[in-house]
Amino acid sequence: MIKPVPPAFIFILGAMLIPLLRLRGNLKQPYLILVSVTAFIDLLYLEPGTSWVYRFLGYDLVFAQVDRLSLAIGYIFVIIGFLAILYSLHVKEDGQHVAAFLYVGGSLGVVFAGDYFSLFAFWEIMAVTSVFLIWYRREKESLDAGFRYVFMHIFGGCSLLTGIIIHIVSQGFTAVGPLESDLGSLFILIGFGLNAAFIPLHTWLPDSYPQGTVTGSVFLSVYTTKTGVYVLARCFSGADVVAYMGGIMAVYGVLYALLQNDTRKLLSYHIISQVGYMVAGIGVGTALGVNGGIAHLVNNILYKSLLFMCMGSVIYMTGKRKLTELGGLAKLMPVTCIACIIASLSISGGPGFNGFVSKGMVISSAAGVGKPILELMLILASVGTFLSFTKLCYFTFFVHNEGIRAKEAPFNMQLAMILTAFLCVFIGVYPRVLFSVLPYHRVYYHPYTPSHVVGVLQLFLLAGWVFMAAKAAFSPHAGIVLDFDYFYRMTCRGIVWLCMVPLNGFRVKAQAFLSREVTSIASLSRNPISIPAITKQYVHLMTAQILKYNAEISQNRKRELEHIRSRLREIKGMAYNENTYRGPMGLGILLALIFLFFYGLIYFLAS
Amino acid sequence: MVRYLKRLFVILVIVFIPAGFFTEHEHAVYLWHRIPSVDAIFGVLGALLLLVATKIVSSFASRREDFYD
């Protein structure tokens, strides 16, 4: 029997073969699907335990650490990878497919990594490859946003590596698992937190994801933040600071989402908010909390990628991305509209949709461990989520807009949206399939209790009533809203100013001074014998010039100064002529004998 | 269409707000878990709170599209 390989290798090898095989037209699309199907079949055969261990520089690198947690994340990563590839089948650029495959492979590598070094290696593969999904849009904004994305992830990667090194030096080479609170774990938390979009390290996310390609943003919305959540579940489960950070992220995300006009920027802020729920559940740390966080991760991947697919289709077919420019698409793009409503109800946690199950688990876990503030923050975020998706659907599909022209998206895009929407409803109606893959399989949670269903419907009805009553206040406006990146950008501009103005000014002055001195030395070196004469004339000139300011200047004195200057110029211009300074050979021999005599005398006296 | 949606909304409110008085929170921990139809109150207060918060934030943080260019 063939031994199953870590699924990361299938995607990475698959990516490398895309340009080598040079597949055209009808052959390329089946190949892309085949790779993801192979990865899924391989995943089914992966058995719990540790395998694919290699010794490198005295350390054991583990590429397949398989348990319930990594398998749950692995399944959803491969399934959504398949759907995202299906959505992007019409893309002709091989480079986009290569970047997407390497990105998915890197993410799966992080999930199944059993040691910190291989985790770090796959972490960096993710960061480097994902940026191409932004740059492939080939616009100036994308290029700039991609560079900012890379800088932020370099910072996070450096922090993670620093933490790993400190951890290994202090505690030895350990498997990826719960960390004690020390300096190393603080650096690791910053590294993980940057990918999980902790406030205020989140700015790369709403800055770069809206700038990705239509299909690239679907991949981006899934993997980076979710691997961050996964490693937090591995290493920082039960940490209070993580739990409250989750609450802050949930509220902060919806608050900023409500202010956005760009559809994909609105979705990006909702990634932060939804990741906040996952982080909160993991921070609570109980079996219900961790299960809730991971269940929300699985559900979020489904409905968030569906939302990015819907908005990608809208942008692809209309060329417009701002809520102020959209509207009236419900009749023109009915499949996209229905898929978007399903995704909106899922993310809001409507009964019958997958978000209802997992959001309830996280909120219940916060209440169960005596964190009332956290529970209220998560409920508030729930209200905000419903409001902002009511706003998104209303202003994209239902508000009156005569000027818009569009037709339904290509078939492969529709098929991917329909399948993903089906999964959102299927898990919502039949949550047992989700519960069966969660890390703690002996935790019982019944989402469809009367109080939960009635409570959520009350929340939606009354929040919806406020939305309709204050529709004008919630309507989108052109412009941007400053976030924490304002401070980062201003700091960077300050550093650039420091380099360009004071430091560059100093450099120019130092360069001019040194150039002048080098020119003088070069001039002197043409005739070194003349240095004493030049020094003498120079001292004479300086003395005369100083005296000039202290006494009456007569015509004679002026003439004297001019004479000294001309003499100085004459000496400087004098070329070296060895015949002028040549002495008899006997003089040189005499000097050598004198030196030899004194050298011998000193040697004799010293010994 | 809008009229039908409004009627549906009123019917749902009539059905589900009183329903809160007949359903109890299974694992009531805090005071608000015992208040009937508290989620309706959370819905209104939460929406108003977020509306006020967005107005405050946009009052000092809103800029033109080309602000960073």
Q: What is the pLDDT of residues A573-606, one digit of tens each?
A: 777 777 776 777 888 899 999 999 999 999 999 8
Compute the nearest-CA separation of B12 from chain A (Å). 8
B63, A489: Cβ pair inside 8 Å?
no
- State pLDDT tens for residues B43-60: 999 999 999 999 999 999
Summarize the confidence of residues B13-25 as an average pLDDT.
82
Planar angle of CA A399, A402, A407, nearest 5 degrees: 90
At residue A210, what is the residue type? P
Q: Does B4 touch chain A (CB under 8 A)?
A: no
Query: Do residues A127 and A160 lie in contact, with contact meaning Cβ atoms separated by under 8 Å?
Result: no
Peptide bond into A200 cis (omega under 30): yes
pLDDT of residue A25: 63
Contact between A454 and B20 using a beta-carbon 8 Å cutoff:
yes
Give the pLDDT confidence score for residue A562 in this predicted structure. Answer: 85
Give pLDDT, residue A314: 92
**Residue contact A463–B46, C-beta within 8 A:** yes
**ipTM of predicted complex:** 0.93
Q: What is the pLDDT of residue A146?
A: 94
Least confident segment among A93-97, A407-411, B23-27? B23-27
Summary mean pLDDT of chain A: 89
Please identify which residue in the block is written with the tokens 């939302």.
A307
Pairwise CA distance, residues A349 & A354, whole Å: 7
Question: Does residue A383 sit at the B interface (CB-CB below 8 Å)?
Answer: yes
What is the C-alpha to C-alpha distance for residues A474 and A341, in angstroms, rounded to an integer? 19
pLDDT at site A327 = 84
pLDDT-derived band at A125, boundaries 50, 70, 90: very high
Q: How close B65 gets to chain A, by Cα (Å)?
A: 4
Nearest to A385 by CA among A544, A298, A257: A257
| pLDDT surpassing 70 at residue B2 | no
For residue A368 the two structure tokens come to 């169960």
Which chain A residues touch B24 with a CB distance below 8 Å?
451
- At residue A167, does pLDDT exceed 90? yes
Q: Which residue among B23, B41, B50 sits closest to A387, beta carbon to beta carbon?
A: B50
Is the pLDDT at A549 greater than 70, yes or no? no
pTM of the model: 0.84
Q: How far apart are CA A578 and CA A587, in angstroms?
A: 16
Give, to the nearest 10 degrees, the angle between helix A287-318 and helix A334-348: 160
Answer whether B11 touches A (CB < 8 Å). Answer: no
Between residues A214 and A341, which one has the greater pLDDT? A341
Task: Give the separation between CA A424 and CA A415, rounded to whole angstroms.
Answer: 14
Per-residue burial over A527-554, b = 16 or more CB atoms within 10 Å of its CB, e = otherwise: beebeebbeebeeeeeeeeeeeeeeeee
pLDDT given for residue A234 in this prediction: 92
What pLDDT digit, counting tens, does each position of A263-299 carry? Answer: 989 999 999 999 999 999 999 989 999 999 999 999 9
Segment A516-544 mean pLDDT: 85
pLDDT tier at A100 (50, 70, 90 boundaries)?
A: very high
Residue-level pLDDT at A177: 86
Give the model's confidence band at A553: pLDDT under 50 very low, under 70 low, under 90 confident, else very high: low
Confidence of residue A551 (pLDDT cuts 50, 70, 90): low
User: Does the pLDDT at position A479 exceed 70?
Assistant: yes
Of A117, A116, A86, A82, the residue nearest A11 (C-alpha): A82
Q: Report the gap between the CA of B31 and the closest CA in chain A (Å).
A: 10
Quick one: three-class SS letters along A62-131?
EEEEECHHHHHHHHHHHHHHHHHHHHCCCCCCHHHHHHHHHHHHHHHHHHHCCEHHHHHHHHHHHHHHHH
Contact B9 A456 (CB under 8 A): no
- The long-range contacts involving A588-595, CB below 8 angstroms and separated by at least 24 positions, are none
Best mutation target, B54, B59, B66, B67, to test chain A (most A CBs within 10 A) = B54
Tell me the per-residue pLDDT of A36-81, one tens digit each, with 9 for 90 and over: 999 999 999 988 888 888 888 888 898 989 998 999 999 999 998 9
pLDDT (tens digit per residue) in A309-364: 999 899 989 988 899 888 888 889 999 999 999 999 999 999 999 999 999 999 99
Q: Average pLDDT of A474-489?
A: 89
Span A241-256, mean pLDDT? 95
Q: What's the pLDDT at A154?
A: 94
* Choice among A236-240, A276-280, A292-296, A423-427 with the minimum mean pLDDT: A236-240
Question: How far is the C-alpha of A259 from the C-alpha of A106, rounded, in Å?
Answer: 33
> Of A498 and A521, which is predicted with more confidence?
A498
More confident site: A93 or A545: A93
Cβ–Cβ gap B27/A473 under 8 Å? no
Asked if the model's pLDDT at residue A524 lies above 90, the reply is no
Give B19's contacts in chain A (Cβ within 8 Å). 450, 454
Most confident of A177-181, A312-316, A531-535, A557-561: A312-316
Q: What is the pLDDT of residue A268?
A: 92
Q: Which two tokens stand for residue A499?
A: 């380099």
- A chain contacts of residue B56, beta-carbon cutoff 8 Å: none
Amino acid letter at A377?
M
Give A550's pLDDT tier (boundaries 50, 70, 90): low
Residue B1: pLDDT band (50, 70, 90) is low
How far apart, in whole angstroms, are the C-alpha atoms of residue A171 and residue A235? 15
